[in-house]
Structure 1
Amino acid sequence: MRVLMLEFNELCPSLMDRFIAEGHLPNFERLRDHSLAMVTDAEEAPPNLEPWIQWVTVHTGLPYAEHKCFKLNDGGRLKQRRLWDEVGAAGGKAWVCGSMNAGIDPSAFAGHFMPDPWASEVEAHPEGYFKPYLDVVRAYVQEHSGRPQVTPLMLAKFIRFMVANGLRYETIVATMKQLASERRSNVKWRRAMILDRLQWDLFAAIYRREQPQLATFFLNSTAHFQHFHWREMTPDIFLNKPSEADTLAFRDTIRAGYENMDRIVGKALDLADDRTAIVLATALSQQPMLTYEDQGGRQIFRHHDIDQLLNFAGIDAPHEYRPVMSQQFLLHFEDADAALAASEKLGSLMLDDGQPVMWAVPEPATPNIVNAGCLVSANPDGATVQAGSSGRQMAFDELFYPLEALRSGMHHPDGLFWISAPGITPREVEEKVPLTAVHPTLLTLLGLEGGEKSAPSFLTTGHAAAAVENPRPLVA
């Protein structure tokens, strides 16, 4: 049996039920009604409740206490085999399309591997194959200033690559309509869904060509919408109300994200044959973020210009700058001493009230790399930043700018895990399933129960039988 896994980051069981009941998600409803449908429990709490932690658990079966991948890019250094490595070791091929915080075992992997757009420590496979695509996507995803560093040559290579790898006419039309609509109204946020279309075109083309035993397809757009637009969707539960203009512009953003992914579910159902299991996994989900409302809501800030920030902090050692996600970035120095000195200078930046401005720490496994970002979470109106003992001062808003709206969604340990496959009776499992059960369950579907991970498959345990003994029918 083949497995096609849709990795839709952080979709929420409650919102899924709501939007299906309202008739917005016909393809999700069709998939659920033909699935063994479960809710997973990540069994973690903040600060260990992050997607770049939970997706490593999905792919390896290891809890965070064992894999210890705490940050994005940690996954590339993990030596534990993933699902796709087990497939390769058994003689099969895999197609990994954007899975988060992932890596491969070169001695076992066979097929195509494209890392997530925030990865800076992992190479694609075959080497260089996805470079025209990743160069452009990373420029847009990692930078939020509205000034992505995309040259005409990069765009030309990107278009040529996409034409050779599945670009569809309907995606071109949707892209042109999006660009035209941005001239008339505030809909730039919809660009993320154009990226989803492009990534599906690429995924489907390679899937049809290679017919892999395992294929994973990761999307993050709706998770991003939930983080920033829950406030506009349900303003009544928030102390800090959105403006009338923001409510009108963004109240349906989250639902639009689910509807966009519903369209892709329909295409996945059409793509699969009768020997293919369709799996939906979200790893975790979100809930409204109400914990910062008495502070005016949580705001995330990112530097305007990395050279300006480092010069202000007094850092002149040779380095390589690599943006990651949100306000996070990495600085690669020539040695650990230079990295330590830079981390101390960034860490010494203070607001005039004594509040630290930055976190900046050398990576334990690679001490020449500094992991850094802005710590400030509320707008410091008119504040000045002090640069350590040098006496330099600069206005905070000259160094940093706010990312989009106030953050209004936060992580929740519940996730969706649906399996639609030949021989699987559609049922709804009422008891939550540990997230660590996903990996061995997928190995069972693939006929690879003898993989490195020894935890029992959900499909073969007495726990599963008890959980589905009296299932509720899947009726919208």
Structure 2
Amino acid sequence: MSTIVLEFNELSPTLLDRFIAAGHLPNFKRLRNSALVAVTDAEEAAPNLEPWIQWVTAHTGLSYAEHGCFKLNDGAALSAPRIWDLVSRSGRTNWICGSMNAAVQAGFLGHFLPDPWATEPVSLPDGHFEPYTHLVRSYVQEHSAQPDVSPLDFARFGRFMLTHGLSAQSVLAAIAQLVQERADNVKWRRAMILDRLQWDLFRSIYRNEKPHFSTFFINSTAHFQHFHWREFEPELFGIQPSEQDFREHRDTVLEGYRNMDRLVGQALAMTGGDDNLVLLTALSQQPMLTHEEDGGRQIFRHRDIARLMAFAGVAPGWRYAPVMSQQFLLHFESEQAAITAAERIEALRLSDGRQPMWARREGLSLDAGCMVEQYPAKEIVVLSLAANEAVGFFDLFYPLEALRSGKHHPDGAFWIKGPGIQPRRLADRVSLRTVAPTLAELTGVEGQFSMRSILVSMPMEIAA
């Protein structure tokens, strides 16, 4: 018996039901109709309602107050065991494919691929996935049109995928995408090509290694919801999309769900009657309507980190790690260097008096990024006292692809299909902290949890 957890970040239980009812998601419907269906409650509100916080809760059974992982890479330092550590302690193997803000403890058994934003955890077996992670991180972490990758990087990636499950369907989909881009220059579907490649990799190792416990994480639809809910439901928003944006992105959110529906179908075909198949989203999204009166929320990212740091007066000797959206990390050799850098970054000012960047220090590292969330006037410049210089805002920063139109919601989907589990729907929401003890029960391992498994502790109603 094996357990596969499909970690589809931030899918909405409401949209899942809506799209299933409309006939768009036949494989999600098959899974839901054969599963115990629950809606989880992350039990947090902004600024603590972030996926890198909730996924740690799902994997450990600990609340944010207990695990304290606030930033995307904090999970690497967490000493509490994840569910896969408990599986390893029982002498059985795992395949952890991209789980967010994850790490493993000593004695881990199996394969481990960190999420593409990770800066600390290394893949296991040591170095095995490096040709894959290097290329994927370059594209996921950096938002520039030309990530820093070479023809050799592509060659190494290609050789790796040829020996790790690359399917003809993925090759054809990639070719079709490149052909379509020559015609319309719409590149958003590239994220779904990455989903296909990661699934090929996951399926190859799953079939070869036959692990007892596996996770498969993807983020593309969460990204689509954040940036294209406006085109999906324009009637909800005060700021209307342009005709071109509406034409290009009105089906982007739905296509993300359809893409994941295809993966659900393959997961159903890959698992047998004695296996467990779990859908887990940790949290979800809803329309972001709070910035419609002030022009909408726009995220800006730095163009060139070396130029930006030199302009701010930060001395060389730092190591840069891009994270997500406007956020990045800087690592220094001394605490004083980090303190000075934080002061100089936060001393930058826009010509209208606003502070354009944050820089939070923790030991030898800074968590930093651009604070500007509305389009500044074209004439706005950034002032640096350290460099005694003024530079145009848009010479240092550029906008990400669209106004934010989706924001986080504490509800998440938690569906469990397995032997002996009757298809039912829980009447009430359950704490996200019940996920870890429930997965422990499914996989037959023991751990110390403050919550009980939903398989034994909750009243149920048969789904309509």
> Common fold, TM-score beyond 0.5?
yes
Output the CA distance in 2 between the equivalents of 1:405 and 1:390: 32
Residues 15-55 of structure 1 deviation map (CA, whole Å, 9 limit, x = unaligned): 11111111110000000000000000000000000000000
SS at match of 2:336: helix
Counterpart contact for 1:186–1:249, Cα < 8 Å: no
1:79 and 2:79 equivalent? yes
What amino acid is aligned across from residue 58 of structure 1 in structure 2?
A
Residue type at the aligned position of 2:395? E
Partner of residue 291, structure 2: 292
* 1:242-290 residue CA offsets vs partner (Å, 9 max, x unmatched): 0011101100000000000000000000111222100000000000001
1:370 and 2:366 are equivalent in the alignment? yes
Paired with 2:418 and 2:434, the residues of 1 have a C-alpha distance of: 17
Q: Does 1:177 align with 2:176?
A: yes
Unpaired stretches in structure 1, ≥5 consecutive residues: none
Provide, for residues 307-358 of structure 1, a one-character-per-residue CA deviation record: whole Å limited to 9, x for no partner: 1101110112301111000011011111111011111111111111211100
For residue 472 of structure 1, report the CA deviation from its aligned partner.
Answer: 3.1
Partner Cα distance (1:127, 1:275) in 2:
32
Distance 2:365 2:104 in 1: 22
Q: State the partner residue of 2:462.
A: 471
Name the CA distance, whole Å, in 1 between partners of 2:397 and 2:383. Answer: 14
Output the CA distance in 2 between the equivalents of 1:456 and 1:269: 27
1:457 matched to 2:453? yes
Whole-angstrom distance in 2 between the partners of 1:388 and 1:286: 41
Cα drift, residue 409 of structure 1 = 0.2
For the residues of structure 2 that align with 1:110 and 1:287, how far apart are their CA atoms? 38
Residue 194 of structure 2 is matched in structure 1 by: 195
What amino acid is the match of 2:64?
Answer: Y
2:438 maps to 1:447 = no
- Aligned counterparts of 2:231 and 2:349: Cα–Cα separation in 1: 33
User: One-letter code of the match for 2:48?
Assistant: N
| Partner Cα separation in structure 2 for residue 214 and residue 472 of structure 1 | 28
| Count of residues in correspondence between the two structures | 463
Match of 1:97 in 2: 97
Report the Cα distance in structure 2 between the residues aligned to 1:447 and 1:460, rounded to whole angstroms.
Answer: 14
Which TM-score applies when normalising by structure 1?
Answer: 0.96
Change (3 A) 1:249 1:186: farther
Q: TM-score under structure 2 normalisation?
A: 0.99
Does residue 1:33 correspond to 2:29, yes or no?
Answer: no
Q: Which runs of 4+ in 1 moved over 6 A?
A: none
Residue in 2 aligned with 1:410? 407
Give the Å deviation of 1:177. Answer: 0.6
In 1: Cα distance, 2:299 partner to 2:105 partner = 36
Number of the residue aligned with 1:388: 385
Which amino acid in structure 2 is aligned with residue 392 of structure 1? E
More moved, 184-193 vs 251-260: 184-193
Query: 5 Å matches for 1:104-253?
Result: 104-107=104-107, 109-253=108-252
Report how far residue 388 of structure 1 moved: 3.3
Q: Is the 8 A contact 1:8 1:220 kept in 2?
A: yes
Q: State how far apart, in whole Å, the 2-side matches of 1:234 and 1:454 are.
A: 40
Instruction: Give the letter for the 2:285 counterpart.
Output: Q
Instruction: Name structure 2 gaps, 5 residues minimum.
Output: none
Distance 2:161 2:336 in 1: 43
**Offset, 1:412:** 0.2
Q: Residue 425 of structure 1 aligns to which amino acid in structure 2? A: Q
| Secondary structure of the structure 2 residue equivalent to 1:113 | strand
Structure 2 distance, partners of 1:300, 1:373, is 10
CA distance in 2, matches of 1:86, 1:57: 15
After superposition, what is the alpha-carbon deviation per residue over 1:143-191, rounded to whole angstroms, capped at 9, x for unaligned? Answer: 1111111101111110000001000111111101101100111420000
- Pairwise CA distance, 1:380: 0.6
Identify the residue that residue 416 of structure 2 maps to in structure 1. 419
Q: How far did residue 458 of structure 1 move?
A: 1.4
Deviation, structure 1 residue 390:
4.5
Counterpart of 2:397 (choices 400, 425, 431) is 400
